[in-house]
């Protein structure tokens, strides 16, 4: 019999350590797996007997004797739980299934097959394959990953770098954290393949300090990889690659790639003007691939199954799958990996079961603190880059935060401005000063000065067009979307803001 | 103000010197050094500025600019317990504001404040990645999901 109790941070935050201890006290060896992503059922315990894994949801230490005696009813196999059964798991196929730090378990579930194929294809073949997969950056901007790698591959330099962006600062997102904690070798394998493709021998993973569990798992995974030739001389080939972990220091803007590079270099995390692109002049002025954790963690499965398989999923120019993170006031919150194209409303209602409070959904914010609010009137929008853009929004890192009808949209707009003011890197005035003015203006509106609404609109225009990066440039999205869809909360009539 | 760069000036100096020496081989060593100093000493004392600036060949003004840019670095020790409560949107959607207000009120603090007895510091954090089980908090490094004021305040007496 095998007992799985997640070591994922969300599971631990809901008491999984005490549950694991109870199984150990009862004389069982416990495998600390990652999360299967059904956070409302955490701690989700799985018991494997005769090759069958049965799940038990939201387990407390007091449930453990009953689970062992058969008195507690199982939820059945995870794969049969509707929330899980409806997913297409490519990037997250192994997350929660395997022991995250057991490299042979990783290999037994398809790990390293992609790397072996990539080694056989060689650098040019790798870049062509990533291009053919249609993979776009999962960090927010959606830039084609193969094109970025091609640029770095073609650049001439004495050294090149791969930087894995694990700063995951967007509220409502936790997919990077989950994969680092649940399947860290997939991130490492993706980075190694990127290194071979562009001719880089050194990689950094920049992990936010708010993720101590992910830092811990990744630290061990890197050590294990070095011992087993997944790092160093890669699988006895002629390619060399090593990885160093770096920890952020609590600055949201350091998720922006050039700010991140400054931070890695030991500087203030101020955003750099582009050009030069990091692909040409990145870390220490050398050509650098900066990719999100999910972009890199998706690379191995693209090589394992083939680019055509991956590209076969999706909608329009959004190819493959997206690990959507459903959070906030939601009945069934968690990670739902699905082919692009599912309408937003299906995710919120059918998949996630609406609000946890049982009250009506008022709005959802998609894409983190810089993402727009979508009222239910826009719930038919299919999940895709262009589709959300067309609705004045963005999918970003695919966080969907659900609010019930008690949400105060003016307060949410104010928070967006306040967050921008706190996190601004200070380089441009519209962002640094504008966000402070934005808070003041919304306070005036709150005090009954409806005449301040046009000022807020003007301010948003200025920030949108006068900011160097998306922190200042996109903060107007949540603000304006709240104002346009809920004008009565800003003291105006619905027509006034139209 | 007297220079704090003088060798053997404070009891922390050997610790700081060792941390610097340990990191000089890495590319972009400043953040790793600052993290290590804070981990060892609980904050980044003024006594560390001179040696770090000198070793990395940057001015003290530049160093101060870096330290002050990042929310994580402290210039004075925190309370014996550190409570971090998520202020971000997904936690707000499930009562995060009420949670932080209750905790701050109970302790008589504002954000970033420390109780006069040096017992507890309360800080905001912008997402802990626990957005599907908020409101979220971190108490002395331990994560709490669906946190109540009681959960957060438990164990902070001593
Ligand atoms: C303010 C701001 C914050 C960002 N935060 C992140 C982040 O936490 N993680 C991330 O991968 N990308 C983040 N990005 C996007 C990065 O700048 C960059 O586009 C991305 O890391 C590139 O990787 P990808 O192509 O794989 O998405 C942020 C951008 C901005 C403007
Ligand atoms: S928009 Fe804000 S965060 Fe971005 S570069 Fe300008 S000041 Fe910095
Ligand atoms: S928004 Fe609070 S943990 Fe993510």
pLDDT tens digits for range A344-377: 999 999 999 999 999 999 999 999 999 999 999 9
Pair (A370, A448) in one structural domain? no
The pLDDT-based confidence of A491 (bands split at 50, 70, 90) is confident
Pair (A220, A167) in one structural domain? yes
Residue spans of the domains in chain B: they are: 14-69, 81-153
Q: Could you give the 3-state DSSP secondary structure of residue A89?
A: coil
Pair (A280, A346) in one structural domain? no
For residue A370, the ligand 1 atom closest to its alpha carbon is 1
- Indicate if ligand 2 lies below 6 Å from the C-beta of A471: yes
| Interface predicted TM-score (ipTM) | 0.96
Pair (A385, A480) in one structural domain? no
Pair (A136, A265) in one structural domain? yes
The pLDDT tens digits of the residues spanning A324-341 come to 999 999 999 999 999 999
* pLDDT at residue B13, rounded to an integer: 87
Pocket test for ligand 1, best of A164, A175, A190, A256 (most atoms within 8 A of CB): A256
Pair (A414, A381) in one structural domain? no
Q: Per residue of chain B (158 residues), what is the pLDDT tens digit?
A: 444 444 457 888 899 999 999 999 999 999 999 999 999 999 999 999 999 999 999 999 999 999 999 999 999 999 999 999 999 999 999 999 999 999 999 999 999 999 999 999 999 999 999 999 999 999 999 999 999 999 999 989 87
Give the end of a domain, one of A311, A327, A346. A311
Pair (A125, A179) in one structural domain? yes
Can you point out the beta strands (E) in A435-477?
A: none
The pLDDT-based confidence of A103 (bands split at 50, 70, 90) is very high
Residue A202 placed within a domain = yes
**Residue A274, by phi and psi: left (phi above 0), alpha (psi -120 to 50) or beta?**
beta
Nearest to A109 by CA among A126, A90, A84: A90
* Residue A43 preceded by cis peptide, ω within 30: yes
A336: nearest CA partner in chain B: B132
For position A417, which CATH number holds?
1.20.1440.230
Any B CB within 8 A of A161 CB: no
Residue A177 placed within a domain = yes
The pLDDT-based confidence of A23 (bands split at 50, 70, 90) is very high
* pLDDT at residue B1, rounded to an integer: 42
Mean per-residue pLDDT, A433-459: 96
Name which residue leads in pLDDT, B155 or A295. A295
For chain A, how many structural domains are there in total?
A: 4
Residue A496 placed within a domain = no
Any B CB within 8 A of A261 CB: no
Tell me if A251 and B130 make a contact (CB, 8 A cut-off): no
Pair (A116, A242) in one structural domain? yes
Interface test with B, best of A179, A212, A250 (most B CBs within 10 A): A250
The pLDDT tens digits of the residues spanning A198-251 come to 999 999 999 999 999 999 999 999 999 999 999 999 999 999 999 999 999 999
Using the predicted structure, report yes or no on whether residue A22 has a pLDDT greater than 90: yes
Distance CA A223, CA A230 (A): 10
The CA radius of gyration of chain B, in Å to the nearest whole number, is 18
Pair (A42, A121) in one structural domain? no
* pLDDT at residue B147, rounded to an integer: 98
For position A399, which CATH number holds?
3.10.20.600
Looking at the complex, report in whole angstroms how far the Cα of residue B32 sits from the nearest Cα belonging to chain A.
7
Residue A498 placed within a domain = no
Assign domain B81-153 to its CATH superfamily: Glutaredoxin (3.40.30.10)
Exposed/middle/buried for A105, CB within 10 Å: 0-12, 13-18, 19+? middle
Pair (A115, A215) in one structural domain? yes
Counts of helices then strands in chain B (DSSP H, E) = 7, 4
Exposed/middle/buried for A62, CB within 10 Å: 0-12, 13-18, 19+? exposed
For position A75, which CATH number holds?
3.40.30.10
The pLDDT-based confidence of A493 (bands split at 50, 70, 90) is low
Distance CA A15, CA A62 (A): 12
B132 chain-A contacts, CB cut-off 8 A: 10, 39-40, 174, 325-328, 330, 333-334
The pLDDT tens digits of the residues spanning A252-272 come to 999 999 999 999 999 999 999
The pLDDT-based confidence of A409 (bands split at 50, 70, 90) is very high
* pLDDT at residue A469, rounded to an integer: 97
The pLDDT tens digits of the residues spanning A114-144 come to 999 999 999 999 999 999 999 999 999 999 9
For position A285, which CATH number holds?
3.40.50.11540
Pair (A69, A205) in one structural domain? no
- Indicate if ligand 1 lies below 6 Å from the C-beta of A169: yes
* pLDDT at residue B2, rounded to an integer: 46
Pair (A114, A163) in one structural domain? yes
Tell me if B35 and A211 make a contact (CB, 8 A cut-off): no
Question: A357: domain range?
Answer: 313-404
Residue A86 placed within a domain = no
Residue A494 placed within a domain = no
* pTM (two decimals): 0.97
């Amino acid at each position: 019999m095998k007992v799985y109790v997640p070591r994922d941070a969300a599971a631990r935050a809901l008491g999984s350590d005490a549950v694991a201890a109870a199984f150990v006290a009862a004389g069982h060896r416990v495998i600390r797996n990652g999360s299967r992503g059904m956070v409302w059922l955490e701690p989700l315990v799985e018991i494997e007997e005769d090759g069958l894994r049965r799940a038990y949801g939201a387990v407390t230490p007091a449930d453990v004797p009953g689970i062992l005696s058969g008195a507690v009813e199982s939820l059945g196999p995870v794969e049969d739980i509707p929330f899980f059964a409806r997913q297409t798991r490519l990037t997250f196929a192994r997350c929660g299934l395997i022991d995250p730090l057991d490299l042979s378990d990783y290999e037994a579930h398809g790990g390293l097959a992609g790397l072996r194929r990539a080694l056989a294809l060689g650098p040019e073949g790798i870049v062509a394959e990533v291009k053919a997969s249609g993979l776009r950056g999962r960090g927010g901007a959606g830039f084609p990953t193969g094109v970025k790698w091609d640029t770095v591959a073609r650049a001439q330099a004495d050294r090149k770098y791969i930087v894995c962006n694990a700063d995951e600062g967007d509220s409502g997102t936790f997919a990077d954290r989950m994969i680092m904690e649940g399947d860290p070798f997939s991130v490492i394998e993706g980075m190694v393949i990127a290194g071979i493709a562009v001719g880089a021998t050194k990689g950094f993973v920049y992990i936010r300090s708010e993720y101590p569990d992910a830092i811990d798992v990744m630290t061990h995974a890197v050590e294990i990889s070095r011992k087993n030739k997944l790092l160093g001389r890669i699988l006895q080939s002629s390619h060399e690659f090593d990885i160093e972990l770096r920890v952020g220091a609590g600055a949201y803007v350091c998720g922006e790639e050039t700010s991140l590079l400054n931070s890695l270099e030991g500087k203030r995390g101020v955003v750099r003007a582009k050009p030069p692109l990091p692909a040409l002049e990145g870390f220490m002025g050398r050509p650098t691939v900066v990719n999100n954790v999910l972009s890199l963690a998706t690379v191995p499965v693209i090589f394992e199954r083939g680019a055509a398989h991956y590209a076969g999923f999706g909608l329009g120019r959004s190819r493959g799958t997206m690990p959507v993170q459903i959070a906030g006031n939601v009945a069934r919150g968690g990670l739902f990996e699905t082919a692009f194209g599912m309408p937003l409303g299906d995710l919120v209602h059918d998949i996630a079961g609406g609000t946890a409070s049982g009250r009506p959904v008022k709005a959802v914010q998609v894409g983190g603190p810089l993402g727009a609010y979508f009222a239910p009137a826009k719930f038919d929008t299919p999940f895709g880059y262009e589709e959300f853009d067309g609705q004045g929004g963005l999918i970003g890192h695919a966080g969907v935060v659900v609010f019930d009808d008690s949400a105060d949209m003016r307060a949410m707009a104010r928070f967006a401005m306040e967050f921008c003011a706190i996190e601004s890197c200070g380089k441009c005035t519209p962002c640094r000063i504008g966000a402070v003015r934005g808070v003041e203006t919304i306070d005036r509106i709150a005090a009954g000065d409806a005449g301040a609404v046009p000022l807020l609109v003007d301010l948003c225009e200025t920030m949108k067009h006068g900011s160097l990066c998306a922190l200042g440039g996109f903060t107007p999205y949540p603000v304006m979307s709240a104002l346009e869809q809920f004008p009565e909360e800003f003291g105006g009539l619905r027509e006034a803001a139209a | 103000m007297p220079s704090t760069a003088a060798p053997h000036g404070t009891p922390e100096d050997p610790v700081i010197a060792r941390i610097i020496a340990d990191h000089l081989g890495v590319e972009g060593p400043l953040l790793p050094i600052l993290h290590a100093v804070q981990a060892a000493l609980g904050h980044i004392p003024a006594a560390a500025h001179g040696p770090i600036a000198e070793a990395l060949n940057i001015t003290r003004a530049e160093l101060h600019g870096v330290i002050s840019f990042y929310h994580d670095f402290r210039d004075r020790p925190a309370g014996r317990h550190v409570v971090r409560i998520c202020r971000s949107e997904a936690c707000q959607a499930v009562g995060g504001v009420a949670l932080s207000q209750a905790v701050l009120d109970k302790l008589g603090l504002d954000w970033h404040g420390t109780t006069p007895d040096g017992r507890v510091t309360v800080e905001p954090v912008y997402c802990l990645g626990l957005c599907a089980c908020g409101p979220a908090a971190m108490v002395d490094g331990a994560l709490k999901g669906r946190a109540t004021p009681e959960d957060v305040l438990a164990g902070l007496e001593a």
